[in-house]
Structure 1
Amino acid sequence: MDTLDQLRAGQLAGSTRLDLACGLSDFPREIFDLADSLEILNLSGNALSQLPDDLHRLTRLRVLFCSDNLFTELPACLGQCSSLTMVGFKANRITQVPGSALPPLLRWLILTDNCISELPSELGARPHLQKLMLAGNQLQRLPDSLQHCHRLELIRVAANQLTELPEWLLTLPSLTWLAYAGNPLETEADAALLESTAVIPWPALRLEQQLGEGASGVIHRATWTRPGAGELPVAVKLYKGEMTSDGSPLHEMNACITAGEHPNLIRVEGRIVDHPQAQTGLVMELIEPSFRNLAGLPSLDSCSRDVYADHTRFSASVALRIARAIASVAEHLHRQGITHGDLYGHNILFNERGDCLLGDFGAASFHAKSDSAESRALQRLEVRAFGVLLGELLERIDSGLTAHGREQLDQLQQRCCQAQVMERPGFGEVVRVLQDL
């Protein structure tokens, strides 16, 4: 983290990135001294409510973060920033989004956890728009103009007031990752199933080291003392209870439970009761340490695409084992009326043999189990996500794949990602094709 003293003393001259979180209520004019170099500006965690009208003087500025501030309106000056592609104003008090505030090269817009009830039609006139984060607002509809955003790949509209998904949304040629839980339109989780889930008293758990932390909660290794059955090593996820970029952690917990059992899902042992701070949580099977993440999270540059380590390579047998498993578990989830919403390599744990587990249900949503045009379209959005993943695996196969096998997999990948949503195969067909290889 940089300091205001460093900025004022000229010690940050030539910086391409500036991070300031020091209780700012006014925009420091000294930032303009970095106009010839500054590309990323992070002013999150301050007390700002305005930005200067001449912000466009930062001609190289590509990324602006102003989360956790006091803005009530998305600043109109952003629309004059000719190089700005990513705008993040999460957890402010924004009620108004003027069309003039949208920069012409906008690629990634984050307005999570605000008070927005309407979006401007100008949003659909941003042809580079690829990622749109709107969870935790008061939206009752999406602007019809978004149907012109043919590059739009990821939308988060969970925890709003949407009563329906517009038909055009499910025909967008590039839409791949959609989260809409917690809206009136969503089919609810099976209440009977949630109630029948085993309950595990908090005093029966002994927390040990922290294993990880995400937007929705913290995971610890723990020991569960089972009545009459001895001790069992488990993982405990305690949910934070606050709005994430994907949606509400409570919906994530419900989806984990409703998903049921599958060899490629992390088994849920039960939900926690009697926590002293009334925190919600799940007890899950403990994963062997040989498992690791298949990929890294998307970067500022990759936007909606995972980042793989340069040395990542797979044999054909391992890559196919992963692909078959993920297609199988996605088919299983769809039968339960669940779309994962975040089918990505970074949410897959795998080992050297190609055994894998799909995790992170933060973006999961429920849909009707009955067959309909809407449920088929929702499922085929997820098929595109699988197609992206399959393409990433194919790019990294270093041995064992015949020319004929490569041709078959390339054809499957192309079918999964084709622009006509309803012409993509369902996961049942994907599973059969992969099994026949």
Structure 2
Amino acid sequence: MDTLALLKAGKLAGSTRLDLACGLTEFPREIFELADTLEVLNLTGNALRSLPDDLHRLARLKILFCSSNQFTELPACIGQCPQLSMVGFKSNRIAQVPAAALGPKLRWLILTDNCIEALPDEIGDCHLMQKFMLAGNRLTQLPASMAKLHKLELLRLSANRLAALPDWLHSLPSLAWLAWAGNPMSAAFTTPHDEDGITADIAWQQLQLEQKLGEGASGIIHQAQWGDTPVAVKLYKGDITSDGTPLNEMNACIAAGLHPNLIRIEGKLKGHPEGVAGLVMDLIGPAFINLAALPSFDTCSRDVYPEGTRFTPQTLLAMAQGMASVAAHLHRHGINHGDLYGHNTLYNAQGDCLLGDFGAASFYPQDGSQLAATLQRIEVRAFGIWLGELIERCEGVDQRWVALQQACVQPDVLARPDFNALTTVLA
């Protein structure tokens, strides 16, 4: 018996989570029978256009996913749900975001891949907002009221119609992960589309795909053989990810060039039978493992580390040196990684580390402006959060490193050190 049939038969009483993807065109009223317990409702992958006005009867509902449906407006009724903190309406047809839809406990709002041209000024009243995902819309500007979002840590603006970044970015004390590639900004902010032969084209026919190594928001990574050489091949999904577009990611990877703490790019994939874009990269040995897992619903913007993870001071220092060095390298090239996180870090027992996943990478001008300084120091906060997570899992930490970490995450954005200063201190 499928889930909808079980729901209608009253056999899901007491459920805290409900997943329904069965071509729904109307909201099943039987869901209200779970009002006393339901905390997570996932209606992704249906054909819904509206939600009931009395949705607030789901008084315990914390998380609502309605991605890949047919909504043209963010339903105002969700703003009345008293506990709702995470809302996902990715890949609909949403053009309007009414102020009434913005509830008092909203922490995580996903509106990726819609048709939104403007946001209400009331967005600035969402004082608990930590993650706001807007890639792939039609925004030409952002409300000045967003300067009041003092808890906002992650902001995705890629693939919109913004002519410039807002000048209030430096006033956001918690912002750490920012992406803006794919907007019609000046040339200095634009990811280049012509790599001038920096990297080779590698024909699909030259590759023999083997096992899947991993999967992220933007693509799937396989092990492969390229002639006699073992490599990794990243095949991109679709046109819009939660962070941006595959084209921007590929170009940023290539423009980043060579660094000991980056995975070497061998070439761009050509000739995939279904036109899929891809990159061919060095294959990283099994001694390297992921530092952390993605944030959970509960942690929101903080990675989840395996239980019992511990580091020696020597390993911590080596990793901090490597990450600061590669971040300094990127920013010298005017590249903001945008997703400097433990889950995008590979490391080994000796503290060698590699920074991956350029899905949120964006370019900015090296013009000495306040905006340029702001953008780098937003990423310095991401480094500081990353370093703090390592320090929490290390005994015998030098207090100078603790002080350095605190300097990186201080709320005064422009008072933070830049990456060149960090590499000098860590050395």
TM-score between the two structures when normalised by the length of structure 2: 0.97
Match of 1:266 among 263, 266, 288: 263
Q: CA deviation at 1:2?
A: 6.5
Q: 1:408 to 1:35 in 2, by over 3 A?
A: same
Counterpart code for 2:340? L
1:236 aligned onto 2:268: no
Counterpart code for 2:214? G
Q: Is the 8 A contact 1:2 1:18 kept in 2?
A: no
Match of 2:402 among 386, 398, 410: 410
Q: Is the 8 A contact 1:270 1:283 kept in 2?
A: yes
Q: Is the 8 A contact 2:183 2:190 kept in 1?
A: no
In 2: Cα distance, 1:203 partner to 1:321 partner: 40
Describe the SS at the equivalent of 2:209: strand
- Deviations along 1:205-240, one digit per CA (max 9) or x if unpaired, are 111111112221121111112xxxxx1111111222
Q: CA deviation at 1:355?
A: 1.0
Residue number in structure 2 paired with 1:139: 139
1:207 aligned onto 2:209: yes
Describe the SS at the equivalent of 2:181: coil
Q: Is the 8 A contact 1:323 1:390 kept in 2?
A: yes
Residue number in structure 1 paired with 2:253: 256
- Deviations along 1:337-383, one digit per CA (max 9) or x if unpaired, are 10000000000011111111000000000111332211111000000
Q: CA deviation at 1:190?
A: 4.2
Q: CA deviation at 1:191?
A: 4.8
Residue number in structure 1 paired with 2:160: 160
In 1: Cα distance, 2:216 partner to 2:148 partner: 33
Residue number in structure 2 paired with 1:428: 420
Alignment of 1:108-119 (within 5 A): 108-119=108-119
Residue number in structure 2 paired with 1:64: 64
1:222 aligned onto 2:224: yes
Match of 2:361 among 361, 364, 380: 364
In 2: Cα distance, 1:96 partner to 1:136 partner: 15
1:281 aligned onto 2:283: no
Q: Is the 8 A contact 1:181 1:366 kept in 2?
A: yes
Counterpart code for 2:283? L
- Give the paired residue count: 425
Comparing 162-171 with 190-199, which one deviates more in the overlay? 190-199
Q: 1:303 to 1:252 in 2, by over 3 A?
A: same
Describe the SS at the equivalent of 2:67: coil
Q: 1:288 to 1:396 in 2, by over 3 A?
A: same
> Which ranges of structure 1 fall in alignment gaps of 5 or more residues?
226-230
Q: Is the 8 A contact 2:235 2:276 kept in 1?
A: yes
The root-mean-square deviation of aligned C-alpha atoms, in Å, is 1.3
Residue number in structure 1 paired with 2:22: 22
Describe the SS at the equivalent of 2:304: coil
Comparing 165-174 with 137-146, which one deviates more in the overlay? 165-174
Residue number in structure 2 paired with 1:228: none
- Deviations along 1:74-111, one digit per CA (max 9) or x if unpaired, are 00101111111111100000001000111111111000
- Deviations along 1:37-92, one digit per CA (max 9) or x if unpaired, are 01111010111001000000000011100000000000010111111111110000
Q: 1:369 to 1:194 in 2, by over 3 A?
A: farther
Residue number in structure 1 paired with 2:299: 302
In 2: Cα distance, 1:61 partner to 1:172 partner: 29
1:177 aligned onto 2:177: yes
Q: Is the 8 A contact 1:181 1:247 kept in 2?
A: yes
Q: CA deviation at 1:287?
A: 0.3
Alignment of 1:48-87 (within 5 A): 48-87=48-87
In 1: Cα distance, 2:317 partner to 2:349 partner: 13
Q: Is the 8 A contact 1:2 1:20 kept in 2?
A: no
Q: CA deviation at 1:25?
A: 0.5
Residue number in structure 2 paired with 1:130: 130
Describe the SS at the equivalent of 2:258: coil
- Deviations along 1:117-164, one digit per CA (max 9) or x if unpaired, are 000111101110111000000000111111111001110010000011
Residue number in structure 2 paired with 1:349: 346
Counterpart code for 1:137? N
Q: 1:290 to 1:9 in 2, by over 3 A?
A: same
Residue number in structure 1 paired with 2:199: 197
Counterpart code for 1:202? W
Counterpart code for 1:354? G
Q: CA deviation at 1:194?
A: 4.7
Describe the SS at the equivalent of 1:370: coil
> Which ranges of structure 2 fall in alignment gaps of 5 or more residues?
none
Counterpart code for 1:208? E
Q: Is the 8 A contact 1:157 1:180 kept in 2?
A: yes
Comparing 293-302 with 275-284, which one deviates more in the overlay? 275-284
Residue number in structure 2 paired with 1:329: 326
Q: CA deviation at 1:193?
A: 3.2
In 2: Cα distance, 1:284 partner to 1:367 partner: 25
Counterpart code for 1:37? T
Describe the SS at the equivalent of 1:196: coil
Q: 1:190 to 1:109 in 2, by over 3 A?
A: closer
Q: 1:192 to 1:102 in 2, by over 3 A?
A: closer
Q: Is the 8 A contact 1:340 1:361 kept in 2?
A: yes
Q: Is the 8 A contact 2:170 2:414 kept in 1?
A: no
Counterpart code for 2:163? T
Q: CA deviation at 1:13?
A: 0.7
Q: Is the 8 A contact 1:216 1:242 kept in 2?
A: no
